[in-house]
Amino acid sequence: MNVLVLNSGSSSLKFQLIVTDLDSISQGKDVRLCRGQIERIGGEAITAVQTRQGLRQKFTVSLPDISAALEYLVHWIVSDASGIAEIQAIGDIDAVGHRVVHGGELFAESAVITDEVLKGIEECIDLAPLHNPNNIKGILAARQVFGPKLPQVAVFDTSFHQSIPEQAFLYAVPYHLYRRHHIRRYGFHGTSHRYVTERYRVLRAVSKEQTHVITLHLGNGCSAAAVREGRSVDTSMGMTPLEGLVMGTRSGDVDPAVVNLIAIKEGLSTHEVEALLNTQSGLLGISGLTNDVRVLLEELRDHDDRRVRLAIEIFCYRARKYIGAFLACMGGADAIVFTGGIGENSPAIRARICEALEWAGLKLDDSRNDQTVGLEGQITTESSRLHAFVIPTDEELLIARDTVRCIKGECHDSQAERSPKAEELRI
């Protein structure tokens, strides 16, 4: 099946076109035909695409809304200019898979989008007011462009964490707040945590029941998940993505009382303080320089700037603290899995997080760690009791695969699957 994967934002549309079916999933033979994004929708939009053959193209065209953007994209895909031989007409696209941010407690799995599912996604708008409305717009735009008969599937960022037990997802606040307003921890990055967990099972040839790992998604947003018997039993993000690890621009955990204090002292509304914790904090806030880890590491190397050093130390310390907490919560784990832009590409950050985890049996292999950049692999010594792996995430591939599985009625608790060879898929 040719699956168009969409991630609809407020003014952007990220997309990938992936050929997959149940056989390809089990054999890891999925093929990515193109990937790209349309940005600045609502004005002079910029479309950047890259095809399997390595052809990169960029277009600027006025696109008033997401429907226009999708129509434009599909038009390009079917045109000769795209060079995508597999898609000659709109009818060659068999399904659309959507990333949906919040599925609340309604969706513990991906779902074929029916009117009822759409209503469920709407009901979760309160929980993700900035994201779910855009995801819904993307779904409606696809219905308009492809017609109501084309199967569409929603894959939720929160679903993987629906297995977390009450003791871990409830806040110790008056219980009626959970009953009345659904105030609880949901967790995010579920598609990424699930992808790397499933991939770990394949690499280690272990069953779901034998999969006990802590997955660390370290990108611009950062989160950790405690995965026991292949299921998420705790995660660092909470009601919103603000809780937990230190991130590029998010604070992660803070004492909730500081919100009011900052508001009073700085003359801000609580909304403004929340924005400050989301966009001006984390690595950027501490360093006063940037949220880009590459730049921070260069700065540290070249100038040994105190605040830069502090930002990196606090970032790594918090990650290590969560690893320790999760090891205790889940009664030990077999491995830590690093993913996300930082987790996949920065041996220096991984080494700092892993240092002082020797007590837990983790022995980093420095040369493996240094060589594993943007690649899959084990970075601990063979004798390590607690292993560490790097597994590049691929959320779009999981969305495409779930789209196929849901349409074929096989979405429940999918079996571990092979990943395609890098050269087959990565473009």
Q: In the numeric block, which tokens belong to residue 129? A: 């007011």
Closer residue to ligand ADP in complex, CB, 398/416: 398
Nearest to 232 by CA among 260, 272, 194, 286: 194
Closest-approach residue to ligand ADP (CB): 341
The window from 9-17, 97-105, 214-222, 320-328 that contacts ligand ADP (CB under 6 A) reads 214-222
- Is residue 285 near ligand ADP by the rule CB under 6 A? no
* Cβ at position 65, least distance to ligand ADP in Å: 24
Task: Indicate the residue among 197 and 346 with the shorter CB distance to ligand ADP.
Answer: 346
Choose one: 82-90, 132-140, 157-165, 336-344; the region binding ligand ADP (CB under 6 A).
336-344
Nearer to ligand ADP, 292 or 424 (CB): 292
If one asks whether residue 312 binds ligand ADP (CB under 6 A), the answer comes out as no
* 181 scored as a contact of ligand ADP (CB under 6 A): no
Residue 374 CB, nearest distance to ligand ADP (Å)? 8
Query: Which is nearer to ligand ADP, 187 or 341 (by Cβ)?
Result: 341
**Total chain residues near ligand ADP (CB under 6 A):** 13
Taken in order 91, 97, 103, 106, the sign of the CA dihedral is: positive
The b/e string for 352-383 (b: 16+ C-beta within 10 A; e otherwise) is bbbeebeebebbbbeebbeebeeebebbbeee
Let me know if 157 is a catalytic residue.
Answer: yes
Tell me how far apart the alpha carbons of residues 377 and 358 are, in angstroms, rounded to a whole number.
20
Is residue 293 involved in binding ligand ADP (CB under 6 A)?
yes
Which residues 6+ apart lie within 8 Å of 44 measured at CB?
Answer: 60, 61, 62
Q: What residues contact residue 246 under an 8 Å CB cut-off, 6+ apart?
A: 222, 252, 282, 283, 286, 314, 315, 318, 319
Q: Which of 190, 340, 392, 420 binds ligand ADP (CB under 6 A)?
A: 340
Examine residue 9 and tell whether it contacts ligand ADP (CB under 6 A): no
Q: In what order do the strands lie in the sheet with 2-8?
A: 56-62, 44-51, 31-39, 13-19, 2-8, 95-100, 152-156, 111-112
CA distance 200 to 377: 10
User: Which residues 6+ apart lie within 8 Å of 114 measured at CB?
Assistant: none
The residue assigned the tokens 């898929």 is 425
Query: Contact with ligand ADP (CB under 6 A): which of 162, 211, 249, 346?
Result: 346
Q: Which residue stretch of 224-232, 252-260, 288-296, 376-384 sits at the interface with ligand ADP (rule: CB under 6 A)? A: 288-296
Q: Does 345 bind ligand ADP (CB under 6 A)?
A: yes
Q: Which residues 218-237 are close enough to bind ligand ADP by CB under 6 A?
A: 219-221
Point out which span in 160-168, 249-257, 286-294, 396-404 binds ligand ADP (CB under 6 A): 286-294
Residue 307 burial by CB count (10 A; 0-12/13-18/19+): exposed, middle or buried? middle
Decide: is 294 part of the binding site for ligand ADP (CB under 6 A). yes
Name which of 197 and 345 has its Cβ closer to ligand ADP: 345
Contact of 221 with 279, CB cutoff 8 Å: no
Question: What is the smallest separation between the CB atom of 351 and ligand ADP, expressed in angstroms?
Answer: 12
Q: Is residue 319 within 8 Å of 353, Cβ to Cβ?
A: yes
C-alpha closest to that of 371 among 379, 361, 362? 379
Active-site residue (options: 23, 65, 115, 157): 157
Structure tokens at 309: 């050093």
Q: Counting contacts by CB under 6 A, is residue 341 touching ligand ADP?
A: yes
Q: Tell whether residue 372 is a contact of ligand ADP (CB under 6 A).
A: no
Q: How far is the CB of 174 from ligand ADP (least distance, A)?
A: 34
Query: Which CB sits closer to ligand ADP, 286 or 386?
Result: 286
248 binds ligand ADP (CB under 6 A): yes
Bridging pattern class, strands 13-19 and 31-39: antiparallel
Q: Which is nearer to ligand ADP, 127 or 349 (CB)?
A: 349
Q: How far is the CB of 343 from ligand ADP (least distance, A)?
A: 8
Whether residue 365 contacts residue 377, with contact meaning beta carbons closer than 8 Å, is answered with no
For residue 247, the minimal CB distance to ligand ADP (Å) is: 9
In the bound state with ligand ADP, the residue whose beta carbon lies nearer, of 211 and 249, is 249
Alpha-carbon distance values, 252 to 35, 101, 282, 369 (Å) = 31, 19, 7, 26
CB atoms within 10 A of CB 276: 18
Please give the residue ranges that form the binding site for ligand ADP (CB under 6 A): 219-221, 248, 291-294, 340-342, 345-346
List active site positions: 157
